[in-house]
Amino acid sequence: MEILLYIAITVLTFSFMELVTWFTHKYVMHGFLWYLHEDHHQPKYPHVFEKNDAFFIIFAIPSIALFYFGAIPKLNFMFFIGFGIFFYGIAYFLIHDVLIHQRFKWFKNIKNKYLIGLRKAHKVHHKHLEKEDGECFGMLWVPKKFHKQFKA
């Protein structure tokens, strides 16, 4: 029974991270930490890494801390919250950096309507080169209008 609780905590944390991502993207990345996110909105940034990549570290710190404190003296709920954040980080990397921005050429010929909708919504987000007037701040959830435009 305890394992089901831990699975539920992990899944709920993963889901909650979409809200955290939306809020952080809109109010932190496009707010007071714009100087870290700005290069991500510039076309053809010439480096392998962006200042924006610092957000991977920022989001990893609570996950690592939760793994640590959730394993001492024995596994507890904090470990599985850290697990949910960790899984969201993997999903973020695969969706945002691999699928959308093609920083790694792993998924070139995507025909899935949902994934095409994610790419379209992110493209709309990136049409704004400045921090103001942004839209589509989420990663996994985007408005349905972006999914309806495409046929799988």
Are residues 75 and 91 in contact, defined by beta-carbon separation less than 8 angstroms? no
Supply the pTM of this predicted model. 0.84
Tens digit of each residue's pLDDT (9 = 90 or more) over 66-85: 999 999 888 899 999 999 99
Would you list the domain boundaries of the chain?
A: 2-108
Q: What is the DSSP letter of 130?
A: S
Tens digit of each residue's pLDDT (9 = 90 or more) over 120-146: 877 777 776 666 766 667 777 777 676
